[in-house]
Chains A and B, each alone.
Chain A
């Protein structure tokens, strides 16, 4: 009987991009964003649905123009917020969204300047609705985002002077502004989030004795996580040195092999420091990843509910 398991995971990943040196024109990286990611599995279609919300920090100097997530394999469906368009990027393995809606798209301004989209994510605001489906289980992937920036402009009293200044500016950028000297889509910021990876899905049980899986992010305690064995999976084949939570990278403080769920098969009981897991209020899933000693990567997730939040 098919079933669907719905999990929502919120991740806060504020980023400060490595900026170009002083003297370079503003890049497309003058943004600091938090990406909340959700993942849902549909047993009937055997597809995971990954969804994201992007919050542009009030300190950002630019509005968010594009957002992208690393993907692998086929992506049968992409959903976009209103005014945005999502697609598989032409030269990067990304699901790539771009704010397209313009106030006056058909206007010819007679110059070379760009107009900002009216649905760009302004500093201090958030936008959800970015999602796609994938047959691949979750793991740590990179996200990419760029801010809206008018093209660096060189002006001149005559077209010839403008041309000369533009060439000088282009050359200056090429030689002195390494970040902006990259292809356009690589000029933004990069961070970590949850997305599809090449992995074998396994099962975990967060707090095996707690059906709600309540977690207080402010706790200084530990979170027990049981990696459950099955007829096709023996947790003793896990490479212990590779275990980590996604995407925080938290490592277990303790581990032991025992039959946690009393099904007669060995399980692996792990204890993670709550602070190490970097869980924040509103997070609703814990994602686990590890390597197998038999090769390949293992991936699993379970729901949680944060408590003690105001």
Chain B
């Protein structure tokens, strides 16, 4: 473990990317929350500033909060006077902008001011108040918070820093922890949408390329750092140190290997307490950096950086510290092999396979290439890889694969190596597992065969190879394969109602393509018009009930929770079931006419001898 220190400056460093570029805030006041401007430096030595580290035009202050592995920055900017947060007066922020961009190019326009970005689950009152992004990943996903207030809100103070912890000093203000999806939208309230009914007082401070979020929440009565996977909804807490009588922790960031940086306050008895900066590794191992610094972050090359500032004088001075953690001597990397040259990634996307009505499989395949890399960057030959892959519950919106439901074990898909070895299954069952060697060229080619259900399949690969005469084992590399039919969205139109909670998949049954949405909307609209006979009295127009369309990610819609048909055609977002029994003969006749005014085709009547009232029309594009 090495330790380097940058010169004292009025610079508050908040994040460092893989190339040791550092971003943060050049302070002009006495505290981090005081006046300043976003800044970035080409190296942690802070010798060379980055040109064009600029906030949006028209702002008077800004700072960068974090930088992703490849240089995407997140932060906020403001206009007007930004005064001390210890007073009710003088807080002059005219709004709370959040910025996402790149430090080495003009920062993108403010993307989150509460009025221009739709916020799912956020109250409308958030508009105009402070919003701040605290971290961003390479895909543009971000986390932060948005502030809202109720009618009784009179004091503009919302929090201050004290002893590395957030101290809420007022009432009437609600701080909504937010998650910004890929592309900047939608903005999701963490507590209300991602983790409803979860723990109290969550704070989101970091996000990595795997969609893992780190933050803080109340656990066992105290604030503690957590790691949360947006896709699998898996939650884990920073472990307790051995022998402690009291412990609280505050996450600061997360890298793409899942290392969480955190400040830990631990007590051994009543008076023996200390505060330390630690790194919480994916295997729950805690690395104690033996220092206590602010705003610690870690890049993907085992470099940890933190800042300690002296806020007693104006302008404040800060010290940037840097550590290097012992790295695994091997690293496993995945590439998309269909590209030339193959492109490394940890996130892949593909379509689900299809078993058609004649029983013929139509496989969807993803060609991957795995290889092991030594610390020198050289590809390790004859690396033995251990692969495990599984389908995290509910990542495909099949509620029944959650614990406690029947019909779990979503099919994990099958992997076949170029040498012909095969494991896993397209059918429901346990996670797949296999071992395979890269051979003398250092690369393992394999094909992933998607199952019929959509959802995420997590592939974990661990490599073993001889490095410098010693057998080395890598940390597990995690690869996420999202199986989906692209382009589906929730279908909604006047006169049309998707019956929720049908077919045992909660309310996830109403998703379709844009064309399907237009066709159904046109059908409902035409139905409403045609039902009014020319010259006749106005007639009430019944709502057309839709039993089901497709799941949000498409794929097989197994309403019997069997991962197979029936309902097999509801996988592309182009098939819908119309609930016709409640309609009169005239209304059904008009509905058929209205269907004829759309590109919809093949209306087929599904009749049940046992339950005629369950009959419906199956229509498709």
Contacts and interface: CB of A to CB of B under 8 A. Distances in A.
B106 interface: no
A90 B522 contact: yes
A183 B608 CA distance: 26
B620 A170 contact: yes
B609 A155 contact: yes
A207 to B, nearest CB: 44
B608 A159 contact: yes
A151 B569 CA distance: 19
Contacts of A174: 601-602, 620
Nearest to A169: B604
A194 to B, nearest CB: 25
B529 to A, nearest CB: 9
Given A107-B585, A117-B589, A163 B611 contact: no
A107 to B, nearest CB: 5
B56 to A, nearest CB: 46
Contact of A110 (B566, B567, B613): B613
A122 interface: no
A98 interface: yes
A109 interface: yes
Contact of A157 (B560, B600, B604, B608): B608
Contacts of A172: 357
Contact of A105 (B585, B598, B611): B585
Interface in A134-176: 150-175
A153 B606 CA distance: 6
A159 B605 CA distance: 12
A154 B606 contact: yes
Given A89-B597, A170-B618, A184-B596, A161 B608 contact: yes
B585 A167 contact: no
Interface string B583-618: 111101100110111111111111111111111111
Contacts of B403: none
A242 interface: no
B582 interface: yes
B389 interface: no
Nearest to A187: B601
Contacts of B593: 98
B356 interface: yes
Contact of B581 (A112, A164, A166): A112
B518 to A, nearest CB: 11
Nearest to A177: B602
B610 A159 contact: yes
B601 A184 contact: yes
A167 B569 contact: yes
Nearest to B599: A183
Contacts of B580: 112
B417 to A, nearest CB: 34
B568 interface: yes
Nearest to A90: B597
Interface residues of A, number: 52
A164 B584 contact: no
Contact of A115 (B577, B585, B595): B585
Contact of B606 (A102, A108, A163, A184): A163
B608 A171 contact: no
Nearest to A108: B584
A185 B589 CA distance: 14
A208 B66 CA distance: 93
B271 to A, nearest CB: 68
Contact of A113 (B559, B575, B605, B620): B605
Contact of B575 (A151, A164, A170): A170
Interface string B464-493: 000000000000000000000000000000
Interface in A80-106: 85, 89-91, 98, 100, 102, 104-106
A166 B585 contact: no
A269 to B, nearest CB: 47
Chain B interface size range: 35 or more
Given A85-B533, A170-B604, A111 B615 contact: yes
B607 A111 contact: yes
Contacts, number: 170
Most chain B CB within a 10 A radius of its CB, from A112, A155, A158, A165 = A112
A167 B568 contact: yes
B602 A114 contact: no
A151 B357 contact: no
Contact of A167 (B589, B617, B618): B618
Contacts of B601: 174, 180-184
A102 B604 contact: no
Interface string A112-140: 11110100000000000000000000000
Contacts of A181: 601-602
A170 B569 contact: yes
B538 interface: no
A75 to B, nearest CB: 15
Contacts of B560: 160
Contacts of A159: 606, 608, 610-611, 614
A109 B581 CA distance: 7
A85 B534 contact: yes
A24 to B, nearest CB: 11
A199 B585 CA distance: 43
A150 to B, nearest CB: 8
Contacts of B575: 167, 170
B597 A91 contact: yes
B596 A185 contact: yes
B602 A162 contact: no
Contacts of B357: 167-168, 171-172, 175
B526 interface: yes
A174 B568 CA distance: 14
A91 to B, nearest CB: 6
A174 B593 CA distance: 20
A105 B568 CA distance: 34
A301 B278 CA distance: 95
A110 B592 CA distance: 16
Nearest to B529: A90
B584 A184 contact: no
A97 B568 CA distance: 36
Given A159-B610, A171-B569, A112 B595 contact: no
Contacts of A156: 606-610
A162 B613 CA distance: 12
B514 interface: no
Which 5 A-B pairs have CB atoms at the shortest separation, nearest pair first?
A: A164-B566, A166-B606, A105-B586, A159-B614, A90-B597
Interface of A: 85, 89-91, 98, 100, 102, 104-115, 117, 150-175, 180-185
Interface of B: 356-357, 522, 526, 533-534, 559-560, 565-570, 575, 577, 580-586, 588-589, 592-593, 595-618, 620
Given A111-B607, A158-B611, 16 more contacts: A91-B598, A105-B584, A105-B589, A108-B582, A112-B607, A113-B588, A115-B585, A115-B588, A159-B608, A162-B608, A164-B567, A167-B570, A169-B604, A170-B569, A180-B601, A183-B600
20 contacts: A104-B585, A108-B584, A109-B581, A111-B612, A112-B581, A113-B588, A155-B607, A158-B610, A159-B611, A162-B615, A164-B567, A166-B606, A167-B618, A173-B602, A173-B604, A180-B602, A183-B601, A184-B595, A184-B596, A184-B601
